[in-house]
Amino acid sequence: MNTATKPHVLVLGGNFAGLSSAQKIREYAGESVDITVIDRKDYLLFVPNIATDVFENRDPSLHQRMQLRPALAADDIHFIQALVQHVDIDARMVNFLPFERPGEASESLHYDYLVVALGAHLAYDRLPGFAEHGHTVSDLFHGERLRRYLFEGGYRGGPIVIGAAHFHQGDGAEGLQPYPGGSIPYLKAACEGPILEMTTAMASWLTRTGRGTPEKITVFTPDEMIAADAGVKNVEAFLRMITGMGIHYRNNMPDIAQLTAEGIEFVGGETLAAEIKLILPDWVSHECLRDLPICDSRGFIRTNLLMRNPEHPEIFAAGDCASVTMPKIGGIGHQQAELVGRQIALDMGRMDAEEANQALRPVTFCIGDMGEGRAFYVRSNSWFGGHDDVLKMGRVPYRLKMSYRDLFFLTHGKMPGFGLNIAQFAAERVF
């Protein structure tokens, strides 16, 4: 690595937003920059497909990891496996702790450009009783724990409650207008597509395994409408379908006070009886970023719609750690990584302003497993002020969900544009 002669781009985080940003910077800025990625783990965790493995009785740790090192080395991107500890914005330095073995000494690295893509802290540690009584599918450990519970005799046939803790969105996206007259509104849950997915996949699991009927399930949301970012018309159709199956739906729920053996206790005292409590927590900003002057009122990184911090144009954010990323979904992080690559190429004189300065127009794009080889497909931008609301359900979206992961791994995360266009075409036109 020759940081003395070329500007050094330091990317913090190597999952969806970090990997994709580093690759896009290399694609658009070419060899004009040196790039380093730091992540605490050296693989990409393919979060969206963990639930499918769980409900289809596969250990997700065997299928939902992609090695980062070869993917980055192919693009001459340096990788450091380390825990990011502190960012010194004035000195343009990042402190990190090499993370492969215990006992390492803290080190530091200088940057000319910083791309923050550290995601968020999924705060199960703020949910009293979660460790003893809760389940989730956001990582390999919890996914495997739930799979064993379901398939190795843990489930006793009791009620199942699925929902999200309250999210506390900061003020960092206020005033941004992604579509004419639109905005990034407030959500009380960070990411509810997976809640819908777990609900339909669980209903299918109950029926398929003869463990019960969908009436055992209650799904709840802290918001007026669950997953409103997927488009009001889409969600209304989805709710008609699941309530028609007998699934109970509760909206405007207070925050979770605690999980117990008997169920979920909400702030204010209401309880929902549940044997299985399938929960997504609050998405909280990382402690190592929270107090930086580039953060909003909740510690998420403030950017404009080109993903640059307004006061520090050498700093970018992409993915879940950015204020503008609402809901917190990987698809939006991917759109942002494209913009980061273009902006750095602009600064390097490798792209003209017209091509580079195309602001973020977020789209909620989500494919959720419904069990038995079926899935729902959502493409919507109406929540942000756009006019598109597409909802499809069936076998084609399920095949797309599986082939997207396969293509992602095959291409080391460099999804060809035509692949995405074909996916959209297949889902929206073919059936």
Ligand X SMILES: Cc1cc2nc3c(=O)[nH]c(=O)nc-3n(C[C@H](O)[C@H](O)[C@H](O)COP(=O)(O)OP(=O)(O)OC[C@H]3O[C@@H](n4cnc5c(N)ncnc54)[C@H](O)[C@@H]3O)c2cc1C
Closer of 95 and 260 to ligand X (Cβ)? 95
In this structure, the strands spanning 271-273 and 263-266 are antiparallel
Q: Report CA-CA distances (Å) from 112 to 7, 267, 337, 364, 389.
A: 6, 46, 18, 32, 41
In this structure, the strands spanning 8-12 and 113-116 are parallel
Does residue 281 touch ligand X according to CB under 6 A?
no
Residue type, 60: P
Closer of 16 and 28 to ligand X (Cβ)? 16
**Least spacing, CB of residue 143 vs ligand X, in Å:** 9
**Least spacing, CB of residue 71 vs ligand X, in Å:** 13
Residue of 18, 212, 214, 263 that binds ligand X (CB under 6 A): 18
Nearest to 178 by CA among 354, 339, 55: 339
Q: Fill in the per-residue mask, 389 to 428: x = in contact with ligand X (CB under 6 A), - = not in contact.
A: ----------------------------------------
β partners of residue 259: 264
Residue of 16, 266, 376, 383 that binds ligand X (CB under 6 A): 16
Does residue 83 touch ligand X according to CB under 6 A?
yes
Q: In 3-state terms, what secondary structure has residue 374?
A: strand
* Whole-angstrom distance, CA of residue 35 vs CA of residue 405: 25
Residue type, 171: D
Q: Report CA-CA distances (Å) from 228 to 166, 225, 366.
A: 15, 6, 13
186 CB-contact burial (10 Å; exposed 0-12 / middle 13-18 / buried 19+):
middle
**Least spacing, CB of residue 142 vs ligand X, in Å:** 9
Does residue 369 touch ligand X according to CB under 6 A?
no
Closer of 186 and 260 to ligand X (Cβ)? 186
Does residue 13 touch ligand X according to CB under 6 A?
yes
Q: Which two tokens stand for residue 137?
A: 């599918």
Does residue 47 touch ligand X according to CB under 6 A?
yes
Does residue 8 touch ligand X according to CB under 6 A?
no
Q: Fill in the per-residue mask, 295 to 334: x = in contact with ligand X (CB under 6 A), - = not in contact.
A: ------------------------xx-------xxxx-x-
Q: Fill in the per-residue mask, 236 to 275: x = in contact with ligand X (CB under 6 A), - = not in contact.
A: ----------------------------------------
Nearest to 143 by CA among 271, 263, 53: 53
Site for ligand X, rule CB under 6 A: 13-18, 38-41, 47-48, 83-84, 117-119, 137-138, 191, 193-194, 280, 286, 288, 319-320, 328-331, 333, 366
